[in-house]
Structure 1
Amino acid sequence: MAYSTALSQGISILLYVHSYTEKNCHNYLSTKVISEQLNIPVPTTVKVIRNLNNAKLTMAKEGAKGGILLAQPLSEITMLDVFLAVEPGKDLFKIHTDVKLQGQDVDDVKQKVIHHLEGAEIAMQNYLKEIRLTDLFHEEKKG
């Protein structure tokens, strides 16, 4: 798969900011604290937060008392929202089509591979669209 750990990092950051701001009356949370508490390198934390800000999932404030806050309630953010924020414009599958073989059979197979992988990506996105980040707090334990 072509995806990085940015999706799980983005989800972790949003859940942590939510938990922190609920306990501390909406104080901004610094990137440094987020990085330390979640054990994500600072440059990575900065990049993920920049993507979350660009997608309007978080908002940033500069300065000594700056940091980030959620820009919308956690209950309105889906896993797909986070995915689209942290993996902007990336395809799930990198497809190898640069082959020397030629002919209709080869072209047909390439098209079928592309079609099925695109279908898998759509299914994944539809699945992620149904999961709100608040569901991660409230999922019932099975068993």
Structure 2
Amino acid sequence: MSHSERWQELFGPTVDGPEMRLASASDDSGAGAGGTGNLKYSKGPWTSASGTAGDLRTRAETSRSVLGRGHEGVEAGAAGLSSVTALKGVLTSWEERLQAVRDECEQLKGTLRTVAKEMGETETAVKTSLKGVHVPGEGDEKR
């Protein structure tokens, strides 16, 4: 049975069954799936993503506020024009969209911050649990 190139990239040769590899793992250096490489975690990307979600939340709220102020007095100044009703509908629609973005970003910000905290705590717990494990090195004598 033949598999696509993409399938083989992701899962490796199918002679002995599929082999999953991490996208961040090296293919040829011996590091990676089944190799001797090290997979390292950094909470930096999670914390950064949380901050970006927070920034987007703030910008969405600012935009919603500015949009509302920009439409103040339109109804009074254009009374009787049919376009005022359409304009009011568009304003309401955009205010609702921006509010939904703001609310979703607020939730996402908290979730991403929680992931960063949990991953950092997990990493610390794993490091602590492995401190007592002896790993043979080059300095060990062979007996």
Q: After TM superposition, is the score higher than 0.5?
A: no
The answer to which structure, 1 or 2, has the higher relative contact order (CA under 8 A, 6+ apart) is: 1
* Structure having the larger proportion of residues in helix: 2
**TM-score of the two chains, using structure 1 as the length reference:** 0.30
**TM-score of the two chains, using structure 2 as the length reference:** 0.30
* Structure having the larger proportion of residues in strand: 1
